[in-house]
Amino acid sequence: MNKRMLLLCFVVFLAAGITAQITVRGKVTDGEGAPVPGVNILVKGTNNGAVTNTDGVYQLSDVFPDDVLVFSFVGMLTEEIIAGSRTVIDVTLAQDILDMEGVVVIGYGTVKKKDLTGSVATISNEEIIKLPTSNAIEAIQGKVTGMDIVRESGSAGSGVYIRVRGNRSIGNPNEPDKFDDLNEPLYVIDGIQGASFSDLNPNDIESINVLKDASSTAIYGSQGANGVIIITTKKGKEGKTRVSYNGFYGITGLTPYPKVRMGDEYIQFRKDAYSNAGAWNDSVHTEDDYRILFNEGELAAIDSGQWVDWQDLIMQNGSQNSHQISVSGGNEKTRSYFSAGYYNEEGIVKLDEFKRYNARVNIDHTLNRWFLAGIQSQLTYIDQDRRKDPLSTASSITPLGIPYNENGSINLYPVAGNATQISPLTDERTDIAIDNTRQTKVLTLGYVEIRPFNGLTFRSNLGANLQFSRRGIFNDATSLSQKGLLINNSSVNASNGRFINWDNILTYSKSLGRHNMVVTALTSYTQNKVDEIYASGDNQATEAALFYNLGATDAEGREISSAYVGSASMSYAARIFYSFADKYLITLTERIDGASRLAEENRWDHFPSFAVAWKIKEENFLQNIDWINDMKIRYSYGIAGNSGISEYGTQSGIWPFSIGFGEVAKTGYKFNTLVGNATLGWEKSATHDIGIDITLFSNRVNATIDVYNTNTSDILLQRQLPKMSGVGSVFQNIGSTQNRGIELNLQTINLNKSDFTWSSVFTFSKNKEKITGLIDGTDIINNEDNSLVLGYPIKSFYTFKKTGIWQLGDEAEMAQIRNIKYKAGDIRVENLNADTLIDAEDRTVIGSAVPKWVGGFENTFSYKNINLSIFLFARMGQMIKAEFLGRYNPSGSGNGPDYFDYWMPDNPTNEFPRPLRGAELSNYFGYQTLTYVDGSYFKIKNIRLSYTLPPEIAGKLLAERLQLYATASNILTLTKSHLLKYYDPERGGSESAPLSRQIVFGINVDF
């Protein structure tokens, strides 16, 4: 590095004598060939300079050949070039990954990245659209430290699971679904809380900022503890009107999924099951004796070779289709951005489809030098069809029969003579199973901004989020979900939500000498109201009516309900940012929250925080160290809240019943068993965060390291009360958890030639989550999946520890266990207390669903107009409950995955127990342990190749910029456990809607 500089100086020195002045012209482009307007070009050490125009072209006169031209632009690495004798100097500016001058969006304001005192990650639009997906958050998996993101399922339009720095809230073990809501971060889209990122078209997003430490999130008070994700949409810019088109088409398929036994393997397994039961002997029986093993229907099917690969018939190639057009531009008065988008995804099973239509309008208008107003508005319409996943049925039923009738229609009962075995394809028939959701969402925000004098800004945002949704379900008597019931069922669920958010923000900034101060004061009011109505019924007279005529269902068993849920909050917050000499920074924040969901005497709570930062680089002793460009140490401490309390949680619910006095009917109301607790407060998380930001070697190495410790207290837990209180149980603020972790983000430019750059981004997050307090310090043991054990993460698995399979020769050891009569081939679990019983005492925490660490590694190579990036992702140390492992069906009837290594007298494996005719898996003691498996994986998440057309060629196509790209996702996944080799563990263990591989082709054009 320094050598190059020396060389440069040497050349300059040599050239000093030549003095002919020339005029230099040229074009400045970015890494992808797009022109960069507004670049400053300055002759080093002089005032002679120029600026590029909208086409990125500049012209600079009076240049001496030995002059050094400095090209600088916000967000790009500054380039210094010796003029030489050239008259045309074209320059490509590389993206400045760290972008110290760039602004970071923090709550209710922005701050220059260099002045940041908290832990905030920023992702630009470029990163987001790199991975073409339906939602922006999925695209940033592995790119933000401390943020654990996995896709929820492989079904069309499915969302993502997100955790910022672990789980804090425990919730009610009996309501596992609610757990995810409790630990979900807060989303703020253009200043409006509570809207869904998945409604946005990723192309409309300007940036995503993730606030992680308490000093950053405390400004969101009672809602901040799970982290805050701030999404900012694009705005129009002054200048020429820009029209862009972004589109992609993708194919989904080659889904890794465990194949089931077919043909000889299927027959062999049944032989083994029968032979272990003493009903089959290979040395005695022959093929003529197959009727011992199979019934007539099966035998006939085997004889005619009617093997069916149900999975194959069910799975198809899915697709993704996205188109978005945007128009942006403006003059000094009005700037606007319009876009319209369409996204369509078809899943890997039929009838699984997601369609989204978006339209967005963002307008900013400057009335005069002190008054601004604007609107950011979006309409989203979603039409989604879901299908009850047939894969579990396909994986467990006998692989025999006739799937289709001669006319090509689906054969309802594929095995002749077996009317209990309905075809997993049944729902594919027209109007047999419909589950359709239609949602219309309006997200709109209007603002006025007043700047009465320099330094003071008042802004008032009024936002609304309106949602209307209808889900209609119809299941025919012959549908998969009604099998066993054999009557049709229909239901409709409609909801209408109104969310209003009104923020008023006063900001005052002032510099006095070396003192710098920004004060923010704000009020924030939110109100949320949801109406819901649900109706369902059985046995609708006319099936063709689907769910549109519930009045024609049987009166008995009809269900109707309607509900209203409303809440409001009022908050006041203030933040003071102060810096001295641009070296010592301090941020103080206090938020006071009032919430309707808390009881009157407890309604208000406050959330303070502070942060300090020291820019060491600015100190004299580092001034002369060239290779350190920047260095800052941060520390923050603060308290943020968790929204663990749901609406009406403090109120005592009561329920009505009928009671007679004489023969007069009256109504009585009694307390619910779960009573309200009027003293409920927020769950609170106190976080210490120490971080360091370093930039080295001419901005080519940037590193951010954070270490944090979050202690969450006052967690809500349900407690059984003495019956003499007259009530049953109550939620109390009595639990506590701890999350400690370390995060590293390392960005490097490994090579930076004019034609070729190679840059890397490495992220590493390690979080250790544990429960530190429960009611009276006692573990709460329920079943395997929802026990709470002190010292372990919330989502831990508590059961026996499988050590293998009992083998022939182990008889003496087996006999030592008095309460279970073991046989060779049974599951062997660890006898933890080494007594003579295998019982509840021998259960322990065998693993947890939270990963020990998550890492991402992206390498981007640019050669001229070609850009290649490869993103690797690893999620390690988590355990998953792989449902399909429980599909091991030892009886030999039905079916199961074909690669399971099962015990036989001549195959002393330690994986699966012996097959046995008539046995169910649950007959084997410790069978639960089979489904839990180390879910660690490493995957090549994404490979992206893009080509930006040279401007001349693009110009011929009337385009300013044209980029073509192709991506391949989930290409290769390596799992730690060999049992998962045919399964993408990112799915988390569910056997329905597995994750697939994807190949996407896309185009981005600017006109």
Partner 1 sequence: MKNTKHILTLASGVLSLFFINSCELDEYNPSGSTADIIWSTPEGIETLVNACYQNQRAWYGKMDGVLASEVGTDLWFSQQKDGYAKEFVKYENFLPTTGNPNKALWPIMYEALNLCNAAIGRIQDVPYTSAEAKMAKEGEARFLRAFYLWHIVETWGGVYLPVTETKEVMLNAKRSSVEEFYNVIIEDLKFAVDNLPIDQGEEYTRATRKSAMGLLARAYISRAYYSNGSEAENYFTLARDVAREIIENQATLGVSLHNNYAELWNPQNNKRNKEALYVVGNSTGNPLLNYDLNANRLHMYFLTTYNTKPGMAISLEYGNEKERRTMPTLFLLDLFDETKDSRYEASFQEVWYANDSTKIPRWTQGEIDALELDPGLKGKRKFNVGDTALYVTKKSIENESDKWYVVVDRDSVYNTAGNGEIKLGKDYVPLIKYLDPITRTLPGEVPGFLDIIIIRLAEIYLIAAEAELQLGNPDAAAGYINVLRTRAAKKTPVDHTVDMQVNASEITLDFILDERGRELCGEHLRWFDLKRTHKLLERVQKNNPDIIYLQEHHYLRPVPQTEIDALLNGEEFGQNPGYN
Could you list the residues that contact partner 1 (CB under 8 A)?
A: 370, 450, 452-453, 458, 460, 502, 504, 506, 523, 525, 562-570, 594-597, 600, 603, 647-648, 651-671, 675-679, 719-727, 730, 732
Q: Which is nearer to partner 1, 428 or 779 (CB)?
A: 779
Do the beta carbons of residue 58 and residue 28 sit within 8 Å?
A: yes
**How far apart, in whole angstroms, are the C-alpha atoms of residue 370 and residue 452?**
6
**Can you give the three-state secondary structure of 369-424, one letter per residue?**
CCEEEEEEEEEEEEEEECCCCCHHHHHHCCCECCCECCCCCECCCCCCCCCCCCCC
Q: How far is the CB of 720 from partner 1 (least distance, A)?
A: 6
Q: From CA 841, how far away is CA 829, in angstroms rounded? A: 12
Backbone phi, psi, residue 855, to 5°: -140, 150
Contact 431, 476 (CB under 8 A): yes
Contact criterion met (CB below 8 Å) for 718 and 649: no
> Which CB sits closer to partner 1, 666 or 978?
666
Which has the closest alpha carbon to 230: 136, 142, 101, 360?
136
Q: How many CB atoms lie within 10 A of CB 898?
A: 16
Is residue 327 within 8 Å of 240, Cβ to Cβ? no
Strands, E assignment, 581-627 = 584-595, 604-615
Shortest reach from residue 792's CB to partner 1, in Å: 25
Which contiguous run of DSSP H or E holds residue 197?
A: none
Residue in 521, 460, 451, 534 with CA at minimum distance from that of residue 492 = 534
- CA distances from residue 799 to 781, 791, 876 in whole angstroms, order as listed: 10, 16, 21
Of 370, 371, 366, 381, the closest CA to residue 336 belongs to 366
In the bound state with partner 1, the residue whose beta carbon lies nearer, of 450 and 971, is: 450
Which of 967, 888, 871 has the alpha carbon at shortest distance from 923?
A: 888
Q: Measured from the CB of residue 656, what is the shortest distance to partner 1 in angstroms?
A: 7
Number of C-beta neighbours around residue 691 at 10 A: 24
Phi first, then psi: what are they for 480, rounded to 5°? -65, -40
Which residue's CB is nearer to partner 1, number 607 or number 912? 607
Nearer to partner 1, 524 or 998 (CB): 524
| Least distance in angstroms from the C-beta of 506 to partner 1 | 7
CB of 502 to partner 1, least distance (A): 8
Closer Cβ to partner 1, 602 or 859, answer by number: 602
- Residue 704 and residue 134: Cα distance in Å, rounded? 29
Least Cβ distance, residue 778 to partner 1 (angstroms): 11
Q: Which of 260, 285, 288 is nearest to 274 (CA)?
A: 285
Angstrom distance (rounded) from CA 838 to CA 689: 45
**Smallest separation, CB 536 to partner 1 (Å):** 18
Q: Is the dihedral of CA 419, 420, 423, 427 positive or negative?
A: positive
Instruction: Please report the sign of the dihedral spanned by the C-alpha atoms of residue 418, residue 419, residue 422, residue 427.
Output: positive
Cβ proximity to partner 1: between 268 and 504 the closer is 504
Q: How far is the CB of 494 from partner 1 (least distance, A)?
A: 15
Nearest-angstrom CA–CA distance, 935 and 997: 18
Nearer to partner 1 by C-beta: 723 or 753? Answer: 723
Supply angle C-alpha 978, 981, 987, rounded to 5.
115
Pairing of strands 683-696, 674-675: unpaired
**Is the Cβ of residue 306 or residue 732 nearer to partner 1 in the bound state?**
732
**Under 8 Å between Cβ of 1007 and 959:** yes
Residues 6+ apart with CB under 8 A from 943: 868, 869, 870, 871, 967, 968, 971
What is the rounded CA–CA span in Å between residue 144 and residue 121?
Answer: 6
Specify the residue, 545 or 568, whose C-beta has the smaller distance to partner 1: 568
The residue among 627 and 655 lying less far from partner 1, judged by its C-beta, is 655
b/e per residue 596-617 (b: at least 16 CB within 10 A): bbbbeeebebbbbbbbbbbbbb
* CB closer to partner 1, 249 vs 671: 671
Q: How far is the CB of 390 from partner 1 (least distance, A)?
A: 36
C-beta closer to partner 1: residue 259 or 529: 529
CA-wise closest residue to 808 among 830, 825, 788: 825
Residue with tokens 């789980």: 167
- Closest CB 742 distance from partner 1, rounded Å: 38
Nearer to partner 1, 621 or 661 (CB): 661
Which lies closer to partner 1 via its Cβ, residue 88 or residue 665?
A: 665
- 5 CA to centre of own chain: 44
How many degrees, rounded to 5, is the angle at CA 74 between CA 71 and CA 78? 35
CB 531 to partner 1: min, Å? 9
Q: Which is nearer to partner 1, 180 or 532 (CB)?
A: 532
* Nearer Cβ to partner 1 (544/724): 724
Q: Could you tell me the smallest distance in angstroms from the CB atom of residue 214 to partner 1? A: 25
Rounded to a whole number of angstroms, the minimum distance from the CB of residue 515 to partner 1 is: 24
- Smallest separation (angstroms) from partner 1 to the CB of 507: 12
**458: number of Cβ within 10 Å:** 15
Question: In the bound complex, what is the minimum distance in angstroms from residue 649's beta carbon to partner 1?
Answer: 10
Minimal distance in Å, beta carbon 572 to partner 1? 8
- Gyration radius (Cα) of the chain, Å: 32
**Buried/exposed code over 55-71 (b: 16+ C-beta within 10 A; e: otherwise):** ebebebeebbbbbbbbb
Nearer to partner 1, 98 or 598 (CB): 598
Q: How far is the CB of 448 from partner 1 (least distance, A)?
A: 10
Phi-psi region of 105 (alpha: psi -120 to 50; beta: other; left: phi over 0): beta
Residues 6+ apart with CB under 8 A from 512: none
Q: Quote the least distance from Cβ 594 to partner 1, whole Å.
A: 5
